[in-house]
Amino acid sequence: MLPVCSSSHSRGIVSAHLNLDSGPVTVLAVGAHPDDIEIGCGGALLSLRGRGDADVRTLVLTGTEERRAEACHGAQLFGVSQEPTLPGFPDARLPAHWAAVKDALHDFRDRSPVPDVVFVPRADDAHQDHALIGALAPSVWRGPLLLHYEIPKWDGDLGRPNTYLPIADDVAAEKVAHLCEAFPSQHARAWWDEEFFLSIMRIRGAEASTRYAEAFAVSKLTISL
């Protein structure tokens, strides 16, 4: 699915470029909270929607009734194929429900088509809910490509990603607009605004030699030639 198409060397840095083959692609995305997926990989989901051949399914583990409604709205805006799975675990308490969370991940996996790509949070994220999902995901999905997305926030825990997805200017703008539309409950947060989200994509874009990008961590990648 992800053949190497070219590589470059600059000052000792090796950069490999991978292309997603044309044709149907199945994508799963997991978030601890409503808006995690859209913040972390919303540009990727909108780019996949533009292909017209992507089946995207999502699991959002926590959320009040209000927040779960936002998750459903966000899924519609970002091109998710069906309403998200919403088990309703308590926010900021996922580690206390370790076994139930693990079961929810396995159930989501078993009820979904076999994915080509799975988006999940980083295992070293400062938020305990994000970190738990990131740590459990590799034992739940052992075959597909796991892309661990980043969630910028007050904690200042951004790391050094090793995988980048360039995001077109119009898609970056659409992502930010949809975030603001879908999640009004978050507007009071000091860091929540259009400039914040665009600035993160702009920084990652500079690292990827483009204008905007989303960044991910990949711990294991199998390449088929």
Can you tell me the distance from the alpha carbon of 213 to that of 169, in angstroms, rounded to the nearest whole number? 9
Q: If pLDDT is split at 50, 70 and 90, which confidence band does 15 have? A: low
Q: Give the pLDDT of residue 20.
A: 66
CA angle 150, 127, 182 (to 5 degrees): 60
Q: Which amino acid is at 141?
A: W
pLDDT tops 90 at residue 72 = yes
In tens, the pLDDT along 17-27 reads 666 666 789 99
User: Of 69 and 13, which is predicted with more confidence?
Assistant: 69
Domains within the chain, CATH numbers bracketed? 23-217 (3.40.50.10320)
User: How many angstroms separate the CA atoms of 42 and 12, rounded?
Assistant: 32
217 φ/ψ angles, rounded to the nearest 5 degrees = -110, 135
